[in-house]
Amino acid sequence: MSDRDSDIDCTVAHADEQPELSEVDQLRTDNESLRNQIERARWALGTDEPVNEQLRQAEIRAAVAEREAVAYRNQVKALVRAIQRERGVPEDALDG
């Protein structure tokens, strides 16, 4: 394999990694948005207003957002582990 072929392979490898990194960034953004929704819902539930439909809906949104946040965190962890494996990080050294 020539040096030029090697350079092309490296470029392709970096291009393959790029979508994963942008997906991780998207998951981080989504996770932050969910955290904000959870915080707003918790604040709404903490007020002295009588329980009504709006508060009940906020409680439901908070519960759903918390489950989604856990799912996003698990996806990010899985992506990080996959990237580490591709880079040859030993199995016992993987974050987990």
- Render pLDDT for 69-88 as a digit per residue (tens, 0 to 9): 889 999 998 998 888 889 88
User: Could you list the residue range(s) of the whole structural domain that residue 56 is in?
Assistant: 3-93
Q: How far apart are CA 63 and CA 60, in angstroms?
A: 5
48 pLDDT band, cuts 50/70/90, is: low
95 pLDDT band, cuts 50/70/90, is: low
Q: How far apart are CA 39 and CA 24, in angstroms?
A: 22
Count of domains in the chain?
1
Q: In sequence order, what are the residues at sequence separation of 6 or more whose Cβ sits closer than 8 angstroms to the Cβ of residue 24?
A: 76, 79, 80
